[in-house]
Amino acid sequence: MNNHEFSLYDSVEGVLSRWWMVVTLMVVGSLVGFGFHLFFPPVYEAKAVITININYQKRELTQIEEDTAFNAASAIITSPSVMNLVISDAQVKGYSITPERFLKDFYLEGRQSVWEFRVRDRDPNASAELTNIWAQNAADALNVALTHALQADQIQAQIAGLENCLAGTSPQAASIQMDCKGYSHQEIEKMLQDQTISQINEINLSLGIISIMTISLTDLAAVPESPILYGQAGLVLAGAFIGLVVSLWLINAIKVSHHV
Residue 30: the pLDDT is 74
Contact 76, 207 (CB under 8 A): yes
91-100 pLDDT, tens digit per residue, is 999 998 999 9
Amino acid identity at 9: Y
Residue 43: the pLDDT is 85
- How many angstroms separate the first and last alpha carbons of the chain? 9
Residue 230: the pLDDT is 55
Residue 1: the pLDDT is 45
- Provide the whole-model pTM: 0.71
Residue 204: the pLDDT is 96
Closest to 93 (Cα-Cα) out of 132, 143, 122:
132
Which residue numbers in the chain have pLDDT < 70?
1-20, 32-40, 168-179, 229-236, 239, 251, 254-260
For the chain, where are the E strands, in sequence order? Answer: 44-54, 106-111, 114-121, 213-219
Q: Where are the domains of the chain?
A: 44-219
